[in-house]
Structure 1
Amino acid sequence: MSTVRLPDGPTTPAFVQGVEILAGRTRAWRRLHRRYGSAFVVSMPRFGPTVVLSDPAEVKALFTTHTDLVDNIDANLGQFLGPGSLFAKRGENHRRERKLLTPPFHGRRLTVYEALIEEEAVREMATWPSGTEFATMDSMMRITLNVILRAVFGAEGAEFDRLRTLLPKLVLVGSALAAIPVPRKFFGRYGPWARFAAHRDRYDAIVTRLIERAAADPDLAERDDVLAMLLQARYDDGSAMTHSEIADELLTLLTAGHETTATSLSWTIERLRRHPDILERLVTEADAGGSELREATLLETQRVRPVIDSTIRKVRADSVQLGRWTLPRGQHVIVSIRLMHDNAELFTDPRAFNPDRFLGKRPGTFSWIPFGGGARRCIGAAFATMEMNVVLRTLLRDFTLETTDAPDERAHFRGVALVPAKKGRAVVYRRPPREAVRDLDTAHSENVAAGETTGARSEEVTA
């Protein structure tokens, strides 16, 4: 075993370090970075002494290290999503499961979902008040939840409605438990774990019926929803997923597939309201049918306001060399997404909101990392990116977003995600349909032409 070499870090009591991180994650990361540089050791709640990395070369080394050497942590979201979830699997089991889940959310499959996303966005935005400030995040949550439910199950129905009510409750309790290590028997059948278990039981009952119904569908092969694809998918050895594995994976897709995307959209609105020049350019581009600046804006929003600010691994080998450091077996390692995106060597003037930095330039694989990296990069990244693009396009097309000089909304840690503290407040006004605008422009042009003709005739008479 190689000699262990770890970065420096604070010597204050572990409890004090943990409280500081819980009280203000971004502020704590930045303070420690200023003092210790791009790598330090800090005592994290639940994980103990943890190495935090933000040096690009060391982050790349971590993401490209084989999962037999460095892999997922033990206390991960699998404890909420179930043993069949992608989050709960490691090593070869994770690789074979990821291979099965990749096709529904990549390539040509994405075009199937675009009309669905726009339909849900239009339906939800029809409820928006005109000229009255409101919080956009709850609305975005409804859009993205409905989208992922329809993508997963294909059609609406009684079960769809029950899941639409149940899943936000399940996510809220699960997020709180992920942030604060509460004993499972805390308050017994009245505690948060008991509430989570009750929500999970209801989910299992609903989804089991949907899986059994789909499995018996004689037209299963003709369906293009995710559930149908998973029922027909086969591992390399020809075996199928069990129904319990499918239930866990569906819960993973349903929960991870809507909250983070909705939060990124809310942050986008929060940023644009405070940058009227960028907003004006986006509207002009959308009216002309373009998308380059919109895509760059979404990249920049996820850089300056990452919804997930870190990703964590655990050393599984006797030791692992990562740049300057030699980490022992069992060592937890965090990649700070926040500090990576703050790096002035990677992004000029990193605290500024500047979508132009991504015009005609794709972000680096190991520098822009809101979806994580390596073997555990978010499997739905392409789907989420397309969904955000369609929803923002719909908003710009159908509404005028009022700008503001109000202070920036601070980030609020909600257990897993960093959300706008005021949920992305906005004031909107519905734009007239483009056909009506064209009619007005035509009428205006005709009036101008008529006025010029009348003026010319008057001049002739006078002459």
Structure 2
Amino acid sequence: MTAVTLPPGPTTPQFVQALRALTTPRRGMHRMRDRYGDAFTIDVPPYGRALVISDPGEVKQLFLAGADAADKPDRNLGRVLGPGSLFALVGEEHRRQRKVLAPPFHGRRLTAYEKIVEEETARELASWPQGRAFATLPSMTRITLNVILRAVFGAEGTEFDELRELLPRMIRLGSWLTVLPEPRTGLGRRGPWGRFRAMRRDYDAIVARLIAEAERGDALDEHDDILALMLRSRYDDGTGLSRADIADQLLTLLAAGHETTATTLAWAVERLRRHPAVLDALVAEVDAGESALREATILEVERTRPVIDLVGRQVRVDGFSVGRWTVPKGYVVAVSIALIHDDESVFPDARTFDPTRFLGTRPDLYRWIPFGGGVRRCLGAAFANMELSVVLRTMLRDVTLLPTGEPDERWHSRGVASAPARGGRAVVRRRTAAGLS
């Protein structure tokens, strides 16, 4: 047996650590770093004992580890998204499905979705009140949900209305179930898992109708929506995705490509209102038809306000080495995104919101990690950043976002994601055709 070498960590009972992780995830991580250093051991459900790291070299080593040594945690989003989800798959099957699913999120196909994003954003902006404060998160959620539904299914109809009503409730409940242990004895249909399974049955029935409708069409090859692309996709051996796998992957895309992007947009509003010089420069850039500062601002929002707290791997071999540590089989090694993003040795003046740090440069994907890393880096990262860019461009073009001297909005845990506690509040005025308020 290989000797285990792990850093110290809190010794409080698991339920106490779990309570702190759910209520103050970001502040709790910083407190533990202050006490124990850049690595520590925690004990929280659903993972149990886990090593948390934030040293860039150790993070890179973890992300580059082979799937036979360290792969996705057994308990993750796959529990609610289904066994065919990328979150649930491991090893070669994960690689095969990822290869099949990659084309819609790159190149020409990605550009084709920009018009959808602009249309949905302009439609939502038309409903924004002028001159009084309101939370933008609900609006951003509607935009991203409509975008992902149109991009996935390519049209409107009864099924889309049903999904618009069902998915927010389903994703909200699923986000909490992901971070909680599944009880040994359920509460039947009235318990949270029972309610989620009932929602999943409704979702599966809707998707089955959409797949049947798409397969009956005569022009499947002409469609750019993701469902059509998945139905046409083939593995190297010529076989296609099963209908069950398609349903799981579509739910994965809908969940992962919806709430996290909406939350990042709300954080962007929160950040820009408190940095009027950046806001003014962005408006001028939009009016000039340019985008470099906007792209850098998106990277900086994702660095300073990452919506996901941790990303990790579960050790599959005895005595897995990562930097200074030797980790036993079964442990989760989790990367604290907030700690590495706030590290002064990684990002000088890290607590300052400064988009210019990314002007003319691309971030190191082992240090800037809002989308995770390695072979499990979020497949939709490019889609998300395209959506963020188009929404911000359209917003800054159509309305004037008024700055504020109010304190920063606090972090609020929503299960998987962390959102601004007041929903990214804004006060806006319409811009005239000449670009003046």
TM range (shorter): over 0.9
Determine the C-alpha separation between the residues in 2 that align with 1:2 and 1:414: 39
1:240, CA displacement in angstroms? Answer: 0.8
**Aligned twin of 1:92:** 92
1:216, CA displacement in angstroms? Answer: 2.0
Question: What amino acid is the match of 2:288?
Answer: A
Determine the C-alpha separation between the residues in 2 that align with 1:138 and 1:184: 35
Q: Does 1:30 align with 2:39?
A: no
**Aligned twin of 2:331:** 331
Matches of residues 380-391 of structure 1 in structure 2 within 5 Å? 380-391=380-391
Deviates more, 1:15-24 or 1:60-69: 15-24
What are the Cα deviations for residues 85-104 of structure 1, in whole angstroms up to 9, with x where unaligned?
A: 11110011100010011000
**Aligned twin of 2:60:** 60
**Aligned twin of 2:183:** 183
Matches of residues 25-174 of structure 1 in structure 2 within 5 Å? 25-174=25-174
Determine the C-alpha separation between the residues in 1 that align with 2:240 and 2:137: 38
Question: What amino acid is the match of 2:396?
Answer: L
1:76, CA displacement in angstroms? Answer: 1.3
1:182, CA displacement in angstroms? Answer: 4.8
Question: What amino acid is the match of 2:274?
Answer: R
Mark the CA change 1:2 to 1:182 in structure 2 (over 3 Å): closer, same or farther. closer
Question: What amino acid is the match of 1:298?
Answer: I
Determine the C-alpha separation between the residues in 1 that align with 2:113 and 2:74: 34
Question: What amino acid is the match of 1:418?
Answer: S
Matches of residues 302-381 of structure 1 in structure 2 within 5 Å? 302-381=302-381
**Aligned twin of 2:254:** 254
Q: Which structure has the larger Rg over C-alpha atoms?
A: 1
Determine the C-alpha separation between the residues in 2 that align with 1:423 and 1:119: 23
**Aligned twin of 2:405:** 405
Q: TM-score, normalised by structure 1?
A: 0.92
**Partner of 2:334: helix, strand, or coil?**
strand
- Conservation of the 8 A alpha-carbon contact between 1:267 and 1:305: yes
- Conservation of the 8 A alpha-carbon contact between 2:46 and 2:179: no
Q: Alpha carbon RMSD of aligned pairs, Å?
A: 1.4
Determine the C-alpha separation between the residues in 2 that align with 1:413 and 1:314: 24
**Partner of 2:74: helix, strand, or coil?**
coil
**Partner of 1:311: helix, strand, or coil?**
strand
Determine the C-alpha separation between the residues in 1 that align with 2:42 and 2:377: 24
Determine the C-alpha separation between the residues in 1 that align with 2:212 and 2:68: 36
**Partner of 1:391: helix, strand, or coil?**
helix
1:249, CA displacement in angstroms? Answer: 0.6
Deviates more, 1:51-60 or 1:40-49: 40-49
Determine the C-alpha separation between the residues in 2 that align with 1:45 and 1:28: 15
- Conservation of the 8 A alpha-carbon contact between 2:79 and 2:178: no
**Partner of 1:88: helix, strand, or coil?**
coil
Percent of matched pairs sharing the same residue = 59
**Aligned twin of 1:301:** 301
Determine the C-alpha separation between the residues in 2 that align with 1:156 and 1:12: 52
**Aligned twin of 1:207:** 207
**Partner of 1:419: helix, strand, or coil?**
strand
Structure 1 residue runs of 5 or longer lacking an equivalent are 441-463
Q: Does 1:236 align with 2:240?
A: no
Question: What amino acid is the match of 1:119?
Answer: E
Question: What amino acid is the match of 1:145?
Answer: L
Structure 2 residue runs of 5 or longer lacking an equivalent are none
**Aligned twin of 2:226:** 226
Deviates more, 1:40-49 or 1:109-118: 40-49
What are the Cα deviations for residues 278-327 of structure 1, in whole angstroms up to 9, with x where unaligned?
A: 11111111111111111111110111100011102100122211111111
Determine the C-alpha separation between the residues in 1 that align with 2:24 and 2:309: 12
Determine the C-alpha separation between the residues in 2 that align with 1:165 and 1:223: 25
- Conservation of the 8 A alpha-carbon contact between 2:141 and 2:259: yes
**Partner of 1:87: helix, strand, or coil?**
coil
- Conservation of the 8 A alpha-carbon contact between 1:185 and 1:193: no
Determine the C-alpha separation between the residues in 1 that align with 2:270 and 2:61: 34
**Partner of 2:400: helix, strand, or coil?**
strand
Number of aligned pairs? Answer: 437
Q: TM-score, normalised by structure 2?
A: 0.98
What are the Cα deviations for residues 195-228 of structure 1, in whole angstroms up to 9, with x where unaligned?
A: 1111111111110000011112121111111111
1:332, CA displacement in angstroms? Answer: 0.9
**Partner of 1:224: helix, strand, or coil?**
coil
- Conservation of the 8 A alpha-carbon contact between 2:51 and 2:334: yes
- Conservation of the 8 A alpha-carbon contact between 1:39 and 1:51: yes
